[in-house]
Amino acid sequence: MAPEAHPELELAAAVRHPVSGLTADAVPRAPGLYAWWPRDGPDHPVYVGRALGQRGLRGRIWGQHLRPTYLEPRPEKATARDAAQLLHGVVDGKGRPVVEKSAFRKSVARAHVLAPGAPTVAWISERYVVSWVTLEELGIDVDRAKRLEAVLITVWRPRYNARGFRRPVVDEPAAAARPVDE
């Protein structure tokens, strides 16, 4: 089946790479779509994303999702939902408290009350594998890739994608980490 006919099937059928043994050079610099899948368990993606910038899939998968130091030190970027991450006391080189900067890692850390950085990356590495397809392989442009990502999130409803597209995560952080209505 030609990719132009059903590009969504290409991502579902793409090779799934375990994080252990994966190198930066193995991930293409080309723009594309990617998905994280359970290593063992249901054949349903837990996160779907796009990498359309200059650094492409390598920049997104390797440089953001798998780089433990990709953290957010700006307090205005943290929300009440990040309180549990802040309680772990992880700080950057300037002593500022940090939370996850990657949307995927942030969702994982919030759902499983993980410390930001290396503990979250290790948790992901132990449980998930990643697949990707480049826009060239799919035969689509950036605009179609954006629409396709939105459709895949709507149809597949990956648990760690942004609110409005994902099904609720059952194992949210404890109530103390969430805002309290007065």
pLDDT attached to residue 27: 98
- 110/160 Cα distance (integer angstroms): 10
CB distance 46 to 158 below 8 Å: yes
Tens-place pLDDT, residues 138-162: 999 999 999 999 999 999 999 999 7
**What's the whole-model pTM score?**
0.84
Which class is domain 7-164? alpha beta
Q: What is the pLDDT of residue 116?
A: 96
Question: Which stretches of the chain drop beneath a pLDDT of 50?
Answer: 1-3, 164-182
Quote the longest CA-to-CA distance of the chain.
Answer: 56
* The residue type at 156: W
* pLDDT value of position 166: 39
Q: 108 is written with which tokens?
A: 């994982």
pLDDT value, residue 72: 93
Tokens 């099937």 sit on residue: 9
Domain spans in the chain, listed from the N-terminal domain onward: 7-164
Distance between CA 16 and CA 133 in Å, rounded? 11
